[in-house]
Amino acid sequence: MIRMPMTNTPKTAGIDDAHLVGHTLACAFDDDPMMRWFFPDDASREAGLGRYFTTIFTRQYARHGVCERTDAAAAFWVPPEGQEKAVPDGETVQELQSILGDRAVLFRDAVAAAAEHAPTESHWYLAVIGADPAAQGQGHGAALLRSGLAKADTAGLPVYLESSKPSNLPFYEHFGFTVREELRLPGGGPVLWSMRRAPRPRTAS
Provide mean pLDDT across the span 129-156. Answer: 95
Percentage of the chain lying above the pLDDT 90 cut: 87
Domain boundaries, the chain: 11-197
Provide mean pLDDT across the span 107-132. Answer: 94
- pLDDT tens, 28-62? 999 999 999 999 999 999 999 999 999 999 999 99
Please report, in angstroms and rounded to a whole number, the separation of the first and last CA atoms in the chain: 41
pTM of the model: 0.93
pLDDT at 2 over 50: no
Provide mean pLDDT across the span 125-141. Answer: 95
Give the pLDDT band (50/70/90) at residue 180: very high
Which pLDDT does position 7 carry in this prediction? 83
Give the pLDDT band (50/70/90) at residue 136: confident
pLDDT at 195 over 90: yes
Q: How far apart are CA 123 and CA 105, in angstroms?
A: 28
Into which CATH architecture does domain 11-197 fall? 3-Layer(aba) Sandwich (3.40)
pLDDT at 204 over 60: no
Provide mean pLDDT across the span 125-142. Answer: 95
